[in-house]
Structures are given as C-alpha cells and as structure tokens.
Amino acid sequence: MKPKAIILLVLLAIAIAGIMSTYSGAEKSSTFTEAAANPGDTYHITGFLAKDMPMEYDPVKDANYFSFYLKDKEGEIRKVVSTEPKQQDFERAETVNMYGHVDGDIFRATKVIPKCPSKYKDEETQRAAQASRS
C-alpha cells in the first residue's frame, strides 16, 4: 500500500473515533444530576412533563424559543429551553426524550422528542369494546 493511503486510513480512523466518543455520552438516558456534573457534555434525558408548571411558547414573538419543565427519572424538576418550535399536542406527551446540555439551572435541549399516546391504542380499545358487544 502507498504511504498516502495508509495516512488517509489512519486519519479516517481517528476522525471516526472522535465522532463516536462525542456521542457516546448521549446514548443512555441520564438524569439532570449527571448532566450537571459535566455541563459541556451532551446528554440524553428521558422524563415526564411537569404539567402543573408553566410552558412558554409564543410563535409571534420567537418561533424558536420553547420552554417547559421536565421531571427526570430521579424526580428532579428542571426548566428546559429548546430552540425548536413547540410540537403539536406536546401537552399530551406521556414521556419526553431530549438531547442537550446543562447551562446553569437550565437544560438547553438541542432535540426534543415527545412520546404521545398512540392513536392506535384508542382504536384498539374501541375495537375490543365492539368485539365484546358482538
């Protein structure tokens, strides 16, 4: 093999290793406490929407600012600020998955993925009720 090809393969391997190490912390679901320990790192946090706390989204004022409160699996509630627009039916979310980092007392989410109740669950319940009536 030519020396240039070997050097390119080594550089490619280093680049892939760097990219994988960047996202390795975001694979498992963490807590706000874990994320606060390393504020610069990206974390994946799963939690429940704190529906009794305020949600702020005004698309006229700023369509890329959405804030809400999330309760993680340890029970800690923290304000989350996202630069994504609020998703339709966000209030109905069963759980919320998000990626981001801690910035002081706020979790800055780069990606927010709500898990809403499935419409198929409702359809399945209706089918079961109709079948039992027959």
Q: What is the DSSP string of 54-84?
A: --EE-TTT-TT-EEEEEEETTS-EEEEEESS
pTM of the complete model beyond 0.75: no
Residue 109 — φ and ψ, nearest 5°? Answer: -90, 130
pLDDT tens digits, one per residue of 109-125: 999 999 877 655 555 56
Structure tokens at 4: 């240039």
Whether 48 and 70 have beta carbons less than 8 Å apart is answered as yes
pLDDT tens digits, one per residue of 16-68: 877 766 555 445 678 999 989 988 788 999 999 998 999 999 988 998 899 99
Task: For the domain covering 28-118, report its CATH number.
Answer: 2.40.50.140
How is residue 85 annotated by DSSP?
P
